Structure 1
Amino acid sequence: MTSSAHHQPILDKPFVLDLFAGPGGLDVAGQALDLPSLGIEWDRSACLTRYAAGLDTLHADVSAVRRDSFESLPPEINVLAGGPPCQTYSVAGHGAGRQALDRVKEYIERLMAGEPDEKIDEDLKTLPDPRTALVLEPLRYAIQATRSPNREHRPYDVIVLEQVREVEALWWHYAKVLEETGLPDGTKYKVVVDVLDTETYGVPQTRSRAVLIARREGLGAPSLPSPTHSSYDAKEWNRRNGNNEHDQTAGQVHQVPLYEDTKPKTDAHQATSTQVRQHWRSMGDALANQGRPTPFLVRSNYGSSSHPGRRGVRSDQQPAFTVTGKISRFVVFQHLNESIVHEGARFSMNEAGLLQTFPPDYPWSGTAQAQQVGNAVPPLFGAHLLSAALGLPQPDPEALQRPWQPATEDQRAKLRSNGCGAADACTDRCPRPKDQVPPPSSVRPRKSRKASAK
């Protein structure tokens, strides 16, 4: 169900708590909507980016904040949002989360029944990969809010979550218990769940996300955001252009016809009740002001269509493949003429950020910047989710394309003092560097194609 009703804000003063905040995708979305937010992020480099961007941040483990310092969170927070880490659920990972879906559903039931945290924490240690349990944290925060004296036991009014599409089954289970069982204090929510394609919201990449939007009973039924752009249909594109974007030969690139009138005709099913959908945005459109020569081709290092080993090729007239932490490995080919291509410069972090709809010149900082970009919620997509959840008008994409105003040195120092405990360094209250290395998984990794060929 998508939104078609007159926009009516449901909260007077929304204040967003962004769990697993990364470099700031949802917070940037919040700023575009004039919403205050506080992010919790454990990765040091992502926090450095957030401080440089001027975003309120706690450099901390989400689970530790819930256990040890929940009462220190601003009591006026009334919107819970976030995208838990996806590595154990994504098809690109080892699959520990996908294999544990039924067990995770059992933990959801136990949490809603009010079982003690200590007992659940002890049992969660038996999961093959501890990151799998992080998908439970939004629910645990929602429950903790009702137990908080600092909040006068007030539940969150709105919950907004997004994850890889493989988590859809868990979001549906979230919806079931939030609507039917309610939190242990009796609070119930109205919930919508679906898998949405980011290119249908103006993001210049194909990226499918399982989303959940919940409103506390009494605040009206939530709706999913109405798409603003048409879907990208790879089969239709290939039919029109004679291109196979799923070439699996590592050293081969099939050239595609460029700059033809390939935009699909708008038809009735592409219209919402209030507007005709725009054409999906291409990489070339998103990077038009970056000085990158066109035409160009991009070969993904990640894969496509839920096949991690499938290497695809797209032109600048198409949306990007899903932007991941391996975006810096995407190979870009420039055309010399109709039949000759050569390898050009790979995407800069600024270009990768633009493909995610971050503002130009966003101050990426620290190390592993490609990973930061790939892990982030696309801000424009996040703005659509927050707008729909809060009854606000559709976001203005132009607000996210303006140059970003970075924090001054004094502002950055103040943000880091609040987030880390010191103006220019991490402190003992920050997660330790060794804790930021992904824990080993007992799930057997997939064999590479080379290994399996032996």
Structure 2
Amino acid sequence: MILHLFAGPGGMDAGAGEPGVGVEFDDGTVATRRAAGLATVHGDVRDHGPADFPEADTLAGGPPCQTFSVGGRGEGRRLLVHLQQRAKAMAARQAVPSAPPGTDERSLLVLEPLRYALAAADVGHPYRAVVLEQVPQALQVWETYVEILRAEGYSAACGVVNAVEYGVPQTRRRAVLLARRDGPVGIPAPTHRPWRRGWALSEVESHRRPVVSMGDVLDRPGPFTVVPNYGTGGDSARRGRRASTEPAFTVTGKISRNRVVGPDGEELPRFTWSEAGRLQGFPADWPWSGQDISQQIGNACPTQLAAALFRAVRGPAYDGEPVRAYAPGDMTEISTCGWTA
């Protein structure tokens, strides 16, 4: 069974294609998970540990990225050296150094999966596999994880991947970490072509599948162009544009602000929650619920990327076995290890 920390609205659950239980703090996100039939503990990962989920053999999660993202104020990036020091102290089973005054606690949450992994090993029940994802700016933390997990008996690897190369209809770069105890592991090979504006895609990595575009996954009747409202520094002249024949920009919590225009520049309806979710790989009928749905969608791990990551840690016994995405209601019978779904 998979234990999903910082579980989000279900991107990793759906991509994993097998039962699991998630720990999630946000009220609205919990509402979405429960509407989708995903086993969920509504709480703070810091208040729990491996002993609360004795059936879990795989650890997964995407810690909060706000303090690491280039869209934030960068506190997490400034704390990278401190976070590495804390991680190494945890691995040595020593007291961790105190965080600098005024530290945003979200920055420290990136080390919670390590706490779970070490605690599980200390009681003789190490996780068989670990799957983690974050923004690229956190790669340095994952590199420290790799060093520690290898010393704990894991094969481990980390790197930065682009979700568009795994069939996601958006360009979304993520730092990923994979580890397993029962065999070698590596970053999964891309299955789809890279995307760059102006490239002749038929001539680039032609052995891979074509890039998936927004138009491929959305049911809009005609061509459209997306004009984002972020990454411009307030300068509207710097706004980029993506046609419906191209993948989306990175889906963030601000996706509802993106303009959608027709061929003649006419304003079209902006993305619905269902459409925004489909750009993250969710089924069209995923039951988005609660508050701040755009942030829930922006925080999710794309399901196709999650599927590729889980395939990479499953080992030879799973070679060739398809991993299906769960639809809403498919996971209502999952054991929750004593917790209420």
| TM-score, normalising length: structure 2 | 0.91
1:177 Cα shift?
A: 2.3
* Residue 104 (structure 1) aligned to one of 54, 79, 83: 83
CA contact (8 A) 2:164 2:170 kept: yes
Give the C-alpha shift of residue 351 in structure 1: 0.3
Secondary structure in 2 matching 1:132: helix
Within the candidate set 223, 237, 240, 1:295 is matched to 223
Q: Are residues 380 and 396 of structure 1, via their aligned partners in 2, closer, same or farther at CA, if it must alter by over 3 Å?
A: farther
Indicate the residue corresponding to 2:24 in structure 1. Answer: 41
One-letter amino acid of the counterpart of residue 168, structure 2: V
Q: Does 1:279 align with 2:210?
A: yes
Instruction: Report deviation, 1:377.
Output: 0.3
Cα distance change, pair 212–394 in 1 and its aligned pair in 2 (3 A): farther
Q: Residues 91 and 308 of structure 1 are in contact (CA less than 8 Å); yes or no, is this contact kept in structure 2?
A: no
Write the distance in 1 (CA, Å) between the matches of 2:162 and 2:328. 29
Q: Secondary structure at the match of 2:262?
A: strand
Q: Is 2:11 aligned against 1:25?
A: yes
More relative contact order, 1 or 2 (CA 8 Å, 6+ apart)? 2
1:124 aligned residue (60, 77, 99) = 99
CA shift at 1:44, angstroms?
0.9
- Trace 1:342-357 onto structure 2 (pairs within 5 A): 342-357=266-281
The one-letter amino acid paired with 1:198 is A
Give the alignment partner of residue 189 of structure 2, picking from 217, 226, 242: 226
Written as runs of structure 1 = structure 2, the 5 A alignment for 1:380-419 is 380-391=304-315, 392-393=318-319, 399-400=324-325, 404-406=327-329, 418-419=339-340
% same residue: 42
Tell me how large the CA RMSD over aligned residues is: 2.4
Which of 103, 106, 127 aligns to 1:156? It is 127
Residue type matched to 2:222 in 1? T
Which residue is equivalent to 1:377? 301
Query: Aligned residue pairs: how many?
Result: 335
- Whole-angstrom CA distance in 2 between matches of 1:138 and 1:49: 23
What amino acid is the match of 1:51? Answer: R
Q: Displacement of 1:395 after TM fit?
A: 7.5
Q: How big is the shift at 1:407?
A: 7.2
- Structure 2 unaligned regions, length at least 5: none
Over residues 51-83 of structure 1, what are the superposed CA-to-partner deviations in whole Å (9 max), with x where a residue is unaligned? 1101111001011113xxx4222x221111111
Q: Is the 8 A contact 1:302 1:324 kept in 2?
A: no
Instruction: Note closer, same or farther for the CA distance 1:395–1:330 as it changes in structure 2 (3 Å cut).
Output: farther
1:192 has 2:123 as partner: no
Listed as ranges, the matches of 1:52-451 within 5 Å are 52-66=35-49, 70-73=50-53, 75-116=54-95, 120=96, 123-124=98-99, 126=101, 128-148=103-123, 153-179=124-150, 182=151, 187-216=152-181, 219-234=182-197, 236-237=198-199, 264-266=201-203, 270=205, 276-287=207-218, 290=219, 292-303=220-231, 311-335=239-263, 340-391=264-315, 392-393=318-319, 399-400=324-325, 404-406=327-329, 418-419=339-340
Deviations 1:319-339 (Å, cap 9, x if unpaired)?
Answer: 00000111111110012xxxx
Cα offset, 1:396, TM superposition: 5.4
State the shift of 1:220 in Å.
1.7
1:387–1:394: 8 Å Cα contact kept in structure 2?
no
- Structure 1 residue runs of 5 or longer lacking an equivalent are 1-14, 238-262, 421-454
In structure 1, distance between residues paired with 2:90 and 2:304 = 33
Q: Tell me which residue corresponds to 1:11.
A: none
SS at 1:265's partner residue? helix
**Is the contact made by 2:172 and 2:249 (CA closer than 8 Å) also made in structure 1?**
yes
Q: Normalising by structure 1, what TM-score?
A: 0.69
Task: Measure how far apart 1:178 and its partner are.
Answer: 2.1
CA contact (8 A) 1:384 1:394 kept: no
In structure 2, C-alpha distance between the alignment counterparts of 1:387 and 1:308, rounded to whole Å: 41
Q: Which has the larger radius of gyration?
A: 1
* Equivalent residues of 1:388, 1:394 under 8 A apart: no
SS of the aligned residue for 1:176 comes to helix
How far residue 356 of structure 1 moved from its aligned partner, in angstroms, is 0.4
Q: 1:418 to 1:351 in 2, by over 3 A?
A: same
1:226/1:103 CA distance change after superposition, 3 Å: same
Distance 2:194 2:330 in 1: 37
Q: 1:265 to 1:407 in 2, by over 3 A?
A: closer
